[in-house]
Structure 1
Amino acid sequence: MQHLADMSIQSGQILGSLGTGGAALLSTTLTIVGIRGKKKFKITPEAAPLWGLIDGTLYMSAASFWTAPDTITTSVTGSITGPDGPFGTVGLGAVAGCITALALYTDISKGKKATLGIGAASVFTQAGGIWGIFPVFITSLTGKALGVH
């Protein structure tokens, strides 16, 4: 039997060791509950893209089953970007800006905003520049505080 003194928050892991798949599952569950929530836990329309961004970043870290959104996003952005794209030369920074504008400044549902956030994780990571700060910050925060590894 383990003594209470032996049980503590290990290395700052607030929820113990979740694993990357576990963190992705937990985050997705919270996003769904918060979007549908009416009383105890609600995600606002303004916060929904951020929750999606956290989910998408965790999906990329988890790999396995969780890579589907990244694969879909990369496929879609690949058809838009580059010098031979339908809109001329479009870089991933422009795509990141468009996703952000749609997520923050349109009157779409919270679920769609969260879905844009999930796609944004992949685009932001690939776009680099200031966009890349968000996924790196989320990865760093979840890795230390949640025991994601």
Structure 2
Amino acid sequence: MHDDITLAAASTGAEILGSLGTGGVAGVLTTALILGTRDKAEHRFNKVQAVTCGLAAGTVFTAAGHVWGMPNDLTLGALHALHVGNGTGPLGDVQPGAVALVLVLIAYLVKLKPRTAGINGLAMATVFANAGGGWAMIAGSLGEFAVGFAS
């Protein structure tokens, strides 16, 4: 039943806003992230809002592809360079779920500026999707809602 409500809200938003496209939604979320985390923003994001916007943007970036996929590619490259998920890394057997928990702990326990929190959210989108399980469900649900505005 909860999925029906989310999908209805997304499709209603799409009707009200017109067709945006996934690249358009990515552009809107990027604009919100950049402008909402500026020191001189009239309505500045707090840390939680910035992380959420970054997580949504990162998920939409993956769906939009093309140049929008670059943050995803950079994060995957870093995970690959550290051998995350294959058990042979410099820190031993580190799986994506552990990296997801570290990113959540950083977001929760470290005093981050909103812009840094937003970048952390972008990384979370990629890591959550690769970790699978509940992590992927979080990123996927937020992404489905945001991409619902694309049509």
Which TM-score bucket, shorter chain as reference? 0.7 to 0.9
Deviation at 1:37, TM superposition (A): 5.9
Q: Which has the larger radius of gyration?
A: 1
Structure 1 stretches of 5 or more lacking a match?
1-10
Say which of 100, 108, 114 aligns to 1:104: 108
Q: Which moved more, 1:74-83 or 1:54-63?
A: 74-83
Structure 2 stretches of 5 or more lacking a match?
1-10
Q: Which moved more, 1:62-71 or 1:135-144?
A: 135-144
What is the TM-score when the length of structure 1 is the normalising length? 0.85
The amino acid of 1:92's aligned partner reads P
User: Could you say which structure has the higher helix fraction?
Assistant: 2
Deviation at 1:99, TM superposition (A): 1.0
1:49–1:104 Cα contact (<8 Å) kept: no
Deviation at 1:40, TM superposition (A): 4.1
Aligned-residue CA RMSD in angstroms?
A: 1.6
* SS of structure 2 residue aligned to 1:104: helix
CA deviation profile, 1:74-110 (whole Å, cap 9, x unmatched)? 0111223121101110100001111111122101221
2:58 aligned with 1:60: no
Which residue pairs with 1:4 in the alignment? none
Deviation at 1:142, TM superposition (A): 2.0
Which residue pairs with 2:94 in the alignment? 90
Q: Which moved more, 1:103-112 or 1:89-98?
A: 103-112
Which residue pairs with 1:129 in the alignment? 133
* Number of residue-to-residue matches in the alignment: 137
Deviation at 1:38, TM superposition (A): 4.9
The amino acid of 1:136's aligned partner reads G
- Residues in 2 aligned to 1:18 and 1:43: alpha-carbon distance in whole angstroms: 23
- Residues in 1 aligned to 2:108 and 2:60: alpha-carbon distance in whole angstroms: 21
What is the TM-score when the length of structure 2 is the normalising length? 0.84
